[in-house]
């Protein structure tokens, strides 16, 4: 395994992060335990979850994934071997049943307390806002709708004050963002630069993969200049970049087979691009999934690459991508495809 650090901290984390969002729906608790055991044995010490998980979000499954992780900590005693990240859902979005209110002090404190209880831990290493509460473009929306009704009042100072207090209490160690825009990241940074007692955001968890490289426009410069680490999610685009959905008969238990509304990476242009990436990988004797993951692993703004799997075979292949070195010829081929079909799935 290879390791990095959460920026502006001394916390050493694996370059591959274990994603958990299928545990409790596509995966049982027993399977989640098996994945955590294997990942830890392979040197992965960074796990990411969310109160929203498992997905697709549904009220009766709310926060089951956190409970599974907590049960594993209790069974194994491995909490001190894991850097643990979780996320607080915003109002609306994919989990409207979770909360009506935004990121006020009461909601943040209650959310942290509930996650601590479910995860059976006294502290969270990284606590992230899952998506912005203001009107902006995320979850596949290409453009910003400046005319949309937005009743949001800038409460970023109050959010950071609440996080400061939770850090002082030892309940969280560091804070991060998710599904954020360049404006949002810089606004949070501005507040902590002006008010030095407020905590600085350390990471941003946004999508990044061969079908969606929009992070490179704007946010990558912020990552490099401000040292905000990208925790890349959906590095295989909901599994599309494994090539398995190109088969005439799609996998029976595949996420997109079970949940066809997850179509973000399945449009005609994205399928066309995926075919070209599959051809490139085959030409060079590579697994297309490992090629796609190795590309993400080696970007200079990446702090950790969040992989997920529903089978142990997939998990082993995905973790194995850390050992894959892409030749200049492969990288050139990736850029040629990207230039011909740029960002078909934002």
Contact assessment for residue 308 and residue 20, using Cβ atoms and an 8 Å cutoff: yes
High-pLDDT (> 70) share of the chain, %:
100
The CB-based long-range contact list for 264-267 (8 Å cut-off, 24+ gap) reads 264/139, 264/140, 264/237, 264/238, 264/345, 265/209, 265/211, 265/212, 265/234, 265/237, 265/238, 265/240, 265/241, 265/345, 266/238, 266/240, 266/345, 267/344, 267/345
Q: What is the pTM of this model?
A: 0.96
CA distances from 164 to 155, 200, 249 (A): 14, 9, 52
The tens digit of pLDDT for each residue in 237-255 reads 999 999 999 986 777 778 7
- The predicted pLDDT at position 146 comes to 83
The CA distance from 25 to 23, in Å, is 6
**Is 53 part of the annotated catalytic residue set?**
yes
Q: Check whether 259 has a pLDDT greater than 90.
A: no
Share the mean pLDDT of the chain: 96
Identify any residues that bridge with 3 across adjacent strands, giving them in sequence order.
Answer: 14
pLDDT band at 258 (very low <50, low <70, confident <90, very high): confident
Active-site residue identified among 3, 38, 53, 208: 53
């Amino acid at each position: 395994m290879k390791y990095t650090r959460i920026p502006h901290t001394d916390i050493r984390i694996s370059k591959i992060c274990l994603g958990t969002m299928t545990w409790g729906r596509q995966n049982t608790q027993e399977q989640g335990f098996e994945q955590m055991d294997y990942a830890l044995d392979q040197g992965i010490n960074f796990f990411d979850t969310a109160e929203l998980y498992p997905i697709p979000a549904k009220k009766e499954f709310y926060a089951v994934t956190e409970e599974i992780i907590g049960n594993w900590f209790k069974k194994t005693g491995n909490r001190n071997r894991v850097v643990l990240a979780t996320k607080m859902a915003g109002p609306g979005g994919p989990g409207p049943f979770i909360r009506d209110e935004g990121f006020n002090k009461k909601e943040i404190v209650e959310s942290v307390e509930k996650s601590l209880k479910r995860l059976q831990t006294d502290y969270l290493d990284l606590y992230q806002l899952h998506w912005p509460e203001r009107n902006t473009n995320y979850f596949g929306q290409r453009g910003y709708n400046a005319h949309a009704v937005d009743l949001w009042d800038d409460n970023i100072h109050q959010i950071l004050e609440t996080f400061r207090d939770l850090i002082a209490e030892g309940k969280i160690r560091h804070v991060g963002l998710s599904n954020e825009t360049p404006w949002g990241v810089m606004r949070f940074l501005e507040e902590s630069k002006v008010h030095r007692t407020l905590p600085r955001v350390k990471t941003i968890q946004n999508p990044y993969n061969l079908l969606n490289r929009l992070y490179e426009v704007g946010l990558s410069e912020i990552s490099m200049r401000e040292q905000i680490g990208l925790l890349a999610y959906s590095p295989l685009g909901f599994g599309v970049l494994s090539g398995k959905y190109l088969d005439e008969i799609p996998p029976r238990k595949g996420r997109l087979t079970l949940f066809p509304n997850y179509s973000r990476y399945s449009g005609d242009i994205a399928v066309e691009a995926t075919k070209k990436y599959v051809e490139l990988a085959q030409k060079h004797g590579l697994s297309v999934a490992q090629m796609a993951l190795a590309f993400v692993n080696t970007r200079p703004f990446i702090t950790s690459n969040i992989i997920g799997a529903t089978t142990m075979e997939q998990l082993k292949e995905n973790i194995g991508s850390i050992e894959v070195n892409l030749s200049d010829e492969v990288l050139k081929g990736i850029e040629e495809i990207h230039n011909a079909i740029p960002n078909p799935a934002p």
